[in-house]
């Protein structure tokens, strides 16, 4: 059995800094008004973020290029999914990164892998293939003594009414968790489903696996802090979050990023850790 102790705090709570963003980080820079961002710029920015926040994290989620930034005392997750997605019958399919897998993650010293997964349980053409993808990834991860953390993301199908999708969203998140609870994975990284009752249903749906709350690109820091407390009171084991914490640094000149991270992001991250430690379902190391 794969244990998650390496990415959890001593009390078994998950307090992970997500910083595996590649194209998503370049897009975040663009939204902040910064264009022409190179891989070097992104890596240097990630280094400043890790320097400011990594010491408070139980683990970090880093892409392979940034993996050496992980502090020695923190756990390390690396992503397996390739960027983008393929379309099938109005739904989305993910693919794994070509030339990098669990063997490469183990060589980097990782404790586990993450796989982002666009997932609609009510879209059978893609759901079955996405579950198969997770099952294969879990088997390979376990052969290398690595945990696997799927991140099923509910999304609007092509042509789907926005209001209908919004109404269905809480159940879509729960259905994704329910479908993947028996996939062979070790933990789920999940969207906030809407309220306390929906979080309780999500905890039931994810069983026997635990789950950690993701931040999401549209969630601001105050909203995320409130969502985290609600989720943890309802059974979540902590958080794996990134842009809700550090995206405010991206629009600043490089010399001002460290100051902003120390002034704004570090206190926020410490607050999130305190919320998780106070209210989360411990024992994530199970």
d(CA 7, CA 76): 7
Task: Summarize pLDDT for 54-79 with one digit per residue, the tens.
Answer: 999 999 999 999 999 999 999 999 99
List, in sequence order, every residue forming a beta bridge with 116; answer none if it has no partner.
151
- Phi, psi (deg, nearest 5) at residue 52: -80, -35
**CATH architecture for segment(s) 5-279:** Alpha-Beta Barrel (3.20)
Strand partners for 92: 87
Q: How many CB atoms lie within 10 A of CB 73?
A: 9
pLDDT, tens only, 182-194: 999 999 999 999 9
Residue 281 in this model has a pLDDT that exceeds 80: no
Task: Enter the pTM of the model.
Answer: 0.94
pLDDT over threshold 50, residue 1: no
Handedness of CA 2, 4, 6, 10 (dihedral sign): negative
Please report which confidence band the pLDDT of residue 250 belongs to, taking 50, 70 and 90 as the band edges.
very high
Judged against a pLDDT cut of 90, whether residue 127 lies above it is answered with yes
Q: Where are the domains of the chain?
A: 5-279
| Measured CA angle at 174 (ends 170, 179), to 5 deg | 150
Q: Hey, is 212 helix, strand or coil?
A: strand
Long-range CB contacts for residues 23-28, cutoff 8 Å, separation at least 24 = 23/83, 23/84, 24/217, 24/243, 25/250, 28/217, 28/243, 28/247, 28/250
């Amino acid at each position: 059995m794969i244990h998650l102790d390496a990415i959890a705090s001593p009390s078994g709570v998950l307090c992970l800094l997500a910083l595996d963003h590649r194209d998503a980080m370049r897009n975040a820079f663009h939204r902040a008004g910064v264009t022409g961002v190179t891989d070097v710029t992104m890596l240097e920015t990630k280094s400043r973020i890790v320097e400011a926040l990594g010491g408070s994290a139980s683990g970090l989620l880093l892409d392979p290029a940034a993996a050496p930034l992980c502090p020695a005392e923190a756990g390390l997750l690396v992503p397996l999914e390739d960027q983008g997605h393929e379309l099938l019958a109005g739904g989305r399919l993910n693919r794994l990164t070509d030339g990098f897998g669990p063997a490469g993650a183990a060589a980097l010293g990782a404790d586990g892998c993450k796989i982002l997964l666009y997932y609609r349980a009510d879209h059978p053409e893609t759901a079955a293939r996405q579950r198969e993808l997770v099952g294969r990834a879990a088997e390979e991860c376990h052969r290398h003594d690595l945990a696997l953390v799927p991140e099923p993301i509910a999304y609007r199908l092509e042509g789907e009414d926005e209001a209908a999708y919004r109404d269905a969203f809480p159940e879509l998140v729960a259905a994704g968790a329910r479908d993947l609870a028996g996939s062979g994975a070790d933990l789920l990284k999940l969207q906030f489903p809407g309220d306390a009752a929906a979080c309780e249903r999500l905890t039931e749906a994810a069983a026997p696996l635990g789950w950690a709350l993701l931040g999401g690109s549209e969630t601001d820091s105050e909203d995320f802090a409130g969502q985290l407390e609600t989720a943890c009171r309802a059974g979540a084991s902590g958080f794996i979050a990134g842009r809700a914490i550090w995206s405010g640094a991206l629009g600043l000149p490089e010399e001002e990023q460290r100051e902003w991270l120390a002034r704004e992001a570090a206190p926020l991250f410490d607050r999130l850790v305190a919320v998780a430690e106070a209210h989360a379902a411990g024992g994530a190391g199970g």
